[in-house]
Structure 1
Amino acid sequence: MAVPLSDLTRMPDPQLIYAADGTRLATYSWGDVDAPVVVLVHGFASSTRDTWVLTGWARRLTDAGYRVLGIDLRGHGKSDKPHDPDAYAIGTLATDVETVLDTYLVEDALYVGYSLGARVGWEVVRDLPQRIHRAVLGGVPDGIPLERLDIEQVRANIEDGTPVEDQTTKNYMTLTSRVPGNDLRSLLALAEGMRQTRTIDPDPSNAPTRPILFATGTKDAVLEGSRTLAAAAPNSSFFEIPDRHHFNAPGSKAFKDAALEFLAGS
C-alpha cells in the first residue's frame, strides 16, 4: 500500500512476500501505483529505511514522478533472518528481487542498489534485461562481497565475546550495531553464503548490457573495483561521488542528482 507523499520519512508497515524457500521478504511502496517503478535495494547490515528513506531517496524519486518499491534483503530490516549460509547465495538474493517484481505485477522497472544491493543488482540487470531497463549501482565492489570480513573473528565474538582485532572487521561490526534489529548471526551467515558462490568476478562476456550508472565515492576503498565492473559493462557510465566514503555516499545530493538524471534518460 502506498503512503502519502507528505509522510515519506515514516515507514509504512511492511508488505511481506514469500520467497521460493519460504523466507519472508519485507517490501515497501510509495507513490502512484501507475507510475514508472524504481526498485531500491540497500547494502550489507542496512535496510530500506536506513539507506533510502532517512537519506531522502524515496522522497526525491516520488517527487520526480516514480513509484518507489523498497526491499529489505533477507537477513535485514523487517525481512526474515536465516542463520544458514546456504540461504544467502548471490543468486538467491537476485531471485528474491525477481519474486518481489512478480508479486507486485511489475513487468518493467528501474533499479537502484547500493553496496551489496548494487552487487545483487549486477546479477538482476544481467539476468532480467527484459524487465530492468536502466540501473544505478552505487558503491559496488568487484570480487567476492564481504571478502575482507574475518569470519572466524566474528564467530568467536558471537560465541564467547572474544574481542575483534581486525580493523576492517571492527568496522563491519560497528556498522551492524548501528542499525536497530540487526542479527549478527544472520549477517555472519550472509558473509559465509557469499563466499560459497564460485563465479563472482565480473565476466566481460557475460556483463549486463542495459545502461548502468556506476557511482562510487572519491574516498571509497572500493573505487577502483567499481571501475573494474563499469569497464566490464558495455553500456555503462561512471560518476565519482565527491568527498564521500562508502558509508556516507547514499546521503550525497550530488549522487541523487546524477542518479535522477540518468534514470530519466531514454
Structure 2
Amino acid sequence: MTDALTQLTQLPDPRYVMAEDGMRIATYTWGEEEAPVVVLVHGFASNARDNWVETGWVRDLLRAGYRVLALDQRGHGASDKPRDPRAYELRLLARDVEIVLDTYLVDTARYVGYSLGARVGWEVTLDLTDRIERAVLGGVPDGVPLARLDLAQVRAYVDDGIPVQDPVTQNYIRLTERVRGNDTRALLAIAEGMRSSGTADPDPRRAPAQPVLFATGSRDAIIEGSRALAAACPRGRFLEIPDRHHFNAPGSRVFRQGAVEFLAEP
C-alpha cells in the first residue's frame, strides 16, 4: 500500500533526454510499459511535480489504465535552465517533446498540456498528426505565450528588486517564487524568447485535425480566445472549468475528470 501511494504522490528519479541543442530535458514515467501513453507538458513557471503530480493528474491517469510520461520543459524543474532567450523558441520546445517520445520509443500517444504546455501542444499536435491521437489543451492562449507579462517590470524586479505593479505580472512572480527550484532569470529569458523569436499566434486556418479538448477557467481572461480556438478545430470541444482562473485551473476535479473521460473516447 505504501509503495502504491508513493507512486501516485511523488516523482520518480528523472531520466534525462538530450535535446537537439544539447539541453538536458528531465523526464518521468509511471505505469505499465504496455499501457497506452499520455504525455504531460506543464505550464510556465511550473514543472511536472507541481502541475501534474500534486494536483492528482498522475494518480487519475494511472487509475484509468494509462502509462504516464511527463517532462520538465527546458528552463523548469530538473531540466537545464539556460538564460539565453534564443534557447526558448517555440519550435525548440515542441521539438523537445518529439525527441522525448522518440527516446522512449513511443509510436502513438495522447497529449495533455496546460498554458505554455498547451501552446506547445498545439504545435506538437500539428507536427505529429500520425502520433498524437487526441489532445487536451488547458488554458491555451490564442496569442503569443506570456504576452500579458510585463517584461520591463520583471526585469526591474530581477535586476534591482523594484516591486512589480502590474497585477497579472504579480501573479506570475508569485507562481515563480512559490515553485521550488525556479530560476527567475531563466523564466525571464523564456518570456523574452517567446517575444523576440517572432512566435506566431495559433493559426485557426491551420488547426489540428485530431480530437482536441480545450479547457479554460471561467475566470481566466483568455477564455474567449480559447473558446475560439476550439471552434476552429474540426473536432474541437470546449470545457469551461467553473470558478477557476489561469493559475489554479490545473487543480480542478472537473478539469481532470473531463480530460480523463475525453482521452478514453474511441
Q: What is the TM-score when the length of structure 2 is the normalising length?
A: 0.96
Q: What secondary structure does 2:120 align onto?
A: helix
Task: Indicate whether 1:52 and 2:52 are aligned.
Answer: yes
Distance 1:207 1:199, change over 3 A: farther
Q: What secondary structure does 1:105 align onto?
A: coil
Question: In the alignment, what sits opposite 2:235?
Answer: 235
CA apart distance, 1:231: 2.0
Question: In the alignment, what sits opposite 2:99?
Answer: 99
Question: In the alignment, what sits opposite 1:22?
Answer: 22
Question: In the alignment, what sits opposite 1:123?
Answer: 123
Question: In the alignment, what sits opposite 1:32?
Answer: 32
Whether the 8 Å CA contact 2:89–2:193 is kept in 1: the answer is yes
Which AA in structure 2 matches 1:77?
A: G
Question: In the alignment, what sits opposite 2:68?
Answer: 68
For 1:58 and 1:32, the matched residues in 2 are separated by 13
Q: What secondary structure does 1:8 align onto?
A: helix
Q: What is the TM-score when the length of structure 1 is the normalising length?
A: 0.96
CA apart distance, 1:150: 1.2
Question: In the alignment, what sits opposite 2:89?
Answer: 89
Deviation beyond 2 Å, 4+ runs, structure 1 = 3-7, 196-199
For 1:136 and 1:86, the matched residues in 2 are separated by 28
Which AA in structure 2 matches 1:252?
A: S
C-alpha deviations, 1:217-248, integer Å up to 9, x for none?
A: 11111101111211221110001111111111
For 2:26 and 2:6, the matched residues in 1 are separated by 22
Gaps (5+ residues) in structure 1? none
Whether the 8 Å CA contact 1:45–1:76 is kept in 2: the answer is yes
Percent identity over paired residues:
66
Which AA in structure 2 matches 1:29?
A: T
For 1:227 and 1:248, the matched residues in 2 are separated by 19
Whether the 8 Å CA contact 1:5–1:62 is kept in 2: the answer is no
C-alpha deviations, 1:107-166, integer Å up to 9, x for none?
A: 100000011100100000011011001000011111011111111111122112122222
For 1:205 and 1:147, the matched residues in 2 are separated by 21
Task: Indicate whether 1:135 and 2:131 are aligned.
Answer: no
Q: What secondary structure does 2:185 align onto?
A: helix
CA apart distance, 1:198: 2.7
CA apart distance, 1:195: 0.9
CA apart distance, 1:199: 4.8
Whether the 8 Å CA contact 2:7–2:30 is kept in 1: the answer is no
Paired residues in the alignment total: 264
For 2:160 and 2:105, the matched residues in 1 are separated by 46
Question: In the alignment, what sits opposite 1:108?
Answer: 108
Q: What secondary structure does 2:9 align onto?
A: coil
For 1:197 and 1:214, the matched residues in 2 are separated by 26
Whether the 8 Å CA contact 1:143–1:200 is kept in 2: the answer is yes
For 1:252 and 1:148, the matched residues in 2 are separated by 23
CA apart distance, 1:21: 0.4
For 1:5 and 1:160, the matched residues in 2 are separated by 44
For 1:54 and 1:87, the matched residues in 2 are separated by 28
Which AA in structure 2 matches 1:188?
A: L
Question: In the alignment, what sits opposite 1:156?
Answer: 156
For 1:155 and 1:220, the matched residues in 2 are separated by 25
Whether the 8 Å CA contact 2:214–2:226 is kept in 1: the answer is yes
Whether the 8 Å CA contact 1:4–1:31 is kept in 2: the answer is no
Which AA in structure 2 matches 1:204?
A: P
Q: What secondary structure does 1:16 align onto?
A: strand
CA apart distance, 1:192: 0.6
Which AA in structure 2 matches 1:69?
A: L
Question: In the alignment, what sits opposite 1:265?
Answer: 265
Question: In the alignment, what sits opposite 1:185?
Answer: 185
